[in-house]
Each structure stands twice: as structure tokens, then as C-alpha cells.
Chain A
Amino acid sequence: MPSNTHIPNSLIIVDDSSVDLKINSRIASLTKLFKQILCFNSAEAALDFLVENLNNPEVCPVLILLDIQMPEMDGFEFLKRYERFPRSFKEKSAVIMLSSTDDLGDMTRVESDKNVVRLLKKPLQIGELKELLTRIYDL
């Protein structure tokens, strides 16, 4: 887990399901903890955006809510590419995985990734999200 207390400027939600994007951005906005919430319906789109904005103070630091199972590029492949971002960016940012998976393989894979703070189960519960954010950002 990144040792940061940098309150994120943006929340980035990556999910191929438009329903889940809608639900999760609404839940996130109900926490009133984010200045802006950006939704991407594919890992590629999110990566493209991040690469362009690695040094953009309007965007960074970011917190990423990342789905696992997506067509084309899945959450794990996203993480592989995310790992190649500059350390200065990663140190201030954090990734939370969000999935309905109950596959042990998925879970251990998520746990072993050093850029991932935690795996949250879908449906996202506002209480759980708030609690986790409080812990990450020392709120």
C-alpha cells in the first residue's frame, strides 16, 4: 500500500458496465469526499487519460476504483501497465479493486499487488467505502 496521505484530486472509476459506473459514481459522490469523479468504461480509456495527465495538478493525485473483469483489457492488465507509471505519481495515488468475484485466484492476485490497497466487493457499500477512505487518508 502506498504510504500516502495525499487526498486525491480526482476519483477515477473504471468499469465496463455503465450501470455500475452510474451506481458507483453516485455512491462516491454521496461520500462528499471527492472534488471530481471521472468515469471510464474501459481500462484502455482510463490509461490513455492517465498517461496524458500524469503531471496535471488538476487531476492528480488520483484514487482509482478498478473493476477486475472487463472485456479486452482486464483489471490485472491495467495494473501491469499502471506499474510502469512514474514512482512520484504512484506514491501519491492509490488503487481500490472493486469486483463481485469470489474466485480465490483473483483474490490472492489482488492481495499480492503492491499498488492495490484493497479489494471491495460489489455492490459497493457507502459505509465500507467511507471507512476505507478514512483509513487511507487519515481523515
Chain B
Amino acid sequence: MTIIKVLYVDDEENNLSSFRANFRRLYEIYTANSGAEALDILSQTEVHIVISDQRMPNMTGVELFKKIKKLYPEPIRILLTGYTDIEALADAINTGDIYRYITKPWNEIELNNGIQNAYDVFRTRRELKEKLMELQKTNDELNRFIYSISHELRAPLASALGVINLAKLDNVFAESEKGYEYWNLIEDCCARLDYNITSTLQYYKNSRYSNVKEEVNFEKLVDDLVTMHKLANNVDDKIRFEVSIDQPEKFIGDIFRIEVIIGNLISNAIKYQKPEEEDKLIKIEVKVNRLDAIITITDNGLGILNDHLNKIFNQFFRMHNQKGTGLGLFIVREALAKLDGKISVESVLNSGTKFTIRIPNNVPDI
């Protein structure tokens, strides 16, 4: 165990020597006979506890502690005082300049308890500070790790997709009937893997980004998202999209999270279509008013079993036989929670699902 370092300040030489005599076997002791000398010692030595007499010429104990608190916030401060100084004490205690006061004349046991308790506080605070720094460091490392892992995982995939692209452009294996099909299958797998990596990272980012407030143009946002997800899922024109945006008001919100939310729901609506449906349809409606943006995404797909409805937002919940990480809706819920938004779902098995989202508009009040 580390030895506890105590600085004792008193203008009376007798008190200093009796303190020394009482405690030198227990602690590493420094003494000073004035505030100025105490500050001098503190500038050179790191002590854990400072004990000071209140009544001293030039600088009182409270005045000294106010200075120490500013310059060296770590050591715990104990004031020694007679009953007559209580008035002056109140303010010092209330502003946190003193951890404890002990009345003079002190007895050995009481003062020793005071030192022990003060050291506990000192140690706990220091540990907390160290843990905080450790946490900060881990956090920074994690961020850097996520950034580079994102690149390390996705860059080779992008290269693979690039090769597939080229193979098609250059008509490699064009003479073989199966060739084109195989290239497409590899492409599908790569695209899906990329999607899974992206959504895993999205979840992580959502948990740490602070809210950004910027103007959101839903017309453009939904348009971009639809195009992107059509591409990502190779939809072409097999699914009809009906988009209606009613945005007479300015909307201020967090584009990144709104994209994540709508994007995931569109992607689900595409994934959970009925394969045999002739007229696959996804309807996206956005209504913006001063208070909220209300977004509904309706599909005529597979629908969700009633029993499953309350589980769909859980991490890693998946419908059987379906592709996906089971992360999509979980991420949607987490992102919405950060925005103070709401989501509800209605679904009829084999006839479709409707998600309704409400996201608060952060436009300033007039």
C-alpha cells in the first residue's frame, strides 16, 4: 500500500511538533508554519491530505484552502478550528473548499479517523479519474478501430464487386450460359455482406454520434434512399414505389439517423415481399408539420405474425428463412430513441405491413 502523505499547516511550532510526534509512524508528514510555506511545499510535493489551522496571521486556513483548491484540486482538505470560527466556516464548507473540519484542540483518534476517511475519498476520486481516462482511451481506440475495420472489411469487398463489374463489361464467360448467373450470385453475396457490415457499423455509430440539427428535405432524402436501395437489392422495376411527400414546413433534424431509419425500413419492405405477388408495391408517405414528421412505409408483402410483432425490434430477431442480420429494426428503434421519436407497426400476415414513424421537428418556435 502506498504511504499516505499529509501536509500539516499551523503557525504554532508546538502543534507542528506534537502532530509529528503522534503521526510520524503512520504517515509521511510535511509541515509548514504559514500558508505561503504550505503552497511552496505543494508546488514541489504531491501530498494526499492537507490539514490546516484556521487562525494564522497573513493567510487564514480557509483562504489557504481556496488557493490550494484552484492550484492543486486533488489533495483532500481538513480544517482545524475552534468553536468560535463556525460562522466563517459555513461558507467554506458550502462552497466545497473543505472536506471536513475538526475542532481544536484535536485528539489523536479523531484526527486519525479524519485522515483515514479523507484518504479514502482521495483514493476513490483518483481511481474514478483514472477509470475515466481509461474509458476515454478505450473509446478513442474503439473509434479508430471501427474506422479502420470498416475500411479493411469493405475495401476488399468493393474490389471484388469491381472485378465482377469488369468481368461483365468484358463479357468474360459470355459463351457459357451459366457464367452470367454465377457472376450475379457472387455479386449478390458480396452486396449482402457489404450491407451486413454497414448495418453493424451503423448500429455502433448510432450509439455514439451526438444529434446533429440540419435542414431535412424529405423529397430528396426519400428519393435518394429509394434509388440506393433499389440498386443495392437489384430491384429494377419489379417493385412499384409510390412516394408522396407533403412538406409545407421546414424540418430540422438529424439527417444521418433519419436516413438510417427510413433506409432500413425501405430495405425491409423490399426484402419481405411475396415472391409470387404480381404487383409488388411499397408506399412511402411523409407529412411534415411544425411539430413532427410523420412517415409511413406500407408494403403488400409477407406481413408479420401477430406473435412476432412485439419481438421484431429485438436485437438478432429474424423471421425464419429470411436473409438479414436481425439488426435492421433494432437499429431503427435505437436511432429513434436518440431522436425522441416513435414507431408503431400494423401487419396482416400475407397481405402486408405498415410502419408509422413520428420524428420531432426541431424547427425553432416563432
The contact size tier of chain A is: 20 to 34
Summarize B's interface: helix, strand, loop or mixed: helix
Residues from 14 to 48 in A contacting B, C-beta threshold 8 Å: 17, 19-20, 23-24, 26-27, 30
User: Could you list which residues of chain B lie within 8 angstroms of chain A, going by C-beta atoms?
Assistant: 147, 150-151, 154-155, 157-159, 161-163, 165-166, 169-170, 198, 201, 256
**Interface assignment of A104: CB less than 8 Å from any CB of chain B:** yes
A80 interface hit (Cβ, 8 Å): no
Kindly state the separation between the CA atoms of A124 and B170 in the bound complex, as whole angstroms. 15
**Once the chains are docked, how many angstroms separate the CA of A17 from the CA of B163?**
13
A104 in contact with B166 given A20-B159, A122-B155 (CB within 8 Å): no
Whether A126 is near chain B, meaning CB under 8 Å from some CB there, is: yes
CB-based contact B166/A27 at 8 Å: yes
Take A69-B151, A122-B155 as given contacts and tell me if A102 and B201 are in contact as well, using a CB distance cutoff of 8 Å: yes
**Chain B nearest Cβ from A98, distance in angstroms:** 10
**CB-defined contacts of B162 to chain A, threshold 8 Å:** 19-20, 23-24, 27, 122-124
A-B contacts counted at CB < 8 A amount to: 54
A17 touches B166 (CB 8 A): no
Q: Name the B residues within 8 Å of A24 (CB-CB).
A: 162
Q: In the bound complex, do residue A123 and residue B158 qualify as a contact, i.e. CB atoms below 8 Å apart?
A: yes
A-B contact pairs, 8 of them (CB 8 A): A19-B162, A26-B166, A100-B155, A103-B147, A103-B150, A104-B256, A124-B162, A125-B165
* A101 interfacial contact with B, CB 8 Å: yes
With A23-B165, A23-B166, A27-B169 already in contact, the answer to whether A123 and B150 are too (CB < 8 A) is: no
- Is there contact, CB below 8 Å, between A30 and B169? yes
Q: Is A17 a contact partner of B150 (Cβ separation < 8 A)? A: no
Most buried by A among B147, B150, B166: B166
How close is A8's CB to chain B, nearest CB, in angstroms? 22
In the complex, the chain A residue whose C-beta lies closest to that of B147 is: A103
A20 CB to nearest B CB, Å: 5
* CB-CB nearest 4 A-B residue pairs: A123-B162, A122-B158, A23-B162, A100-B158
| Nearest chain A CB to B64 CB, angstrom units | 48
Residues of B within 8 A of A27 (CB): 162, 165-166, 169
Nearest chain A CB to B208 CB, angstrom units: 12
Which residues in B have their C-beta under 8 angstroms from that of A123?
A: 158-159, 161-162, 165
- When chains A and B are docked, how far (Å) is the Cα of A30 from the Cα of B169? 9
Report chain A residues within 8 Å CB of B169: 27, 30, 126
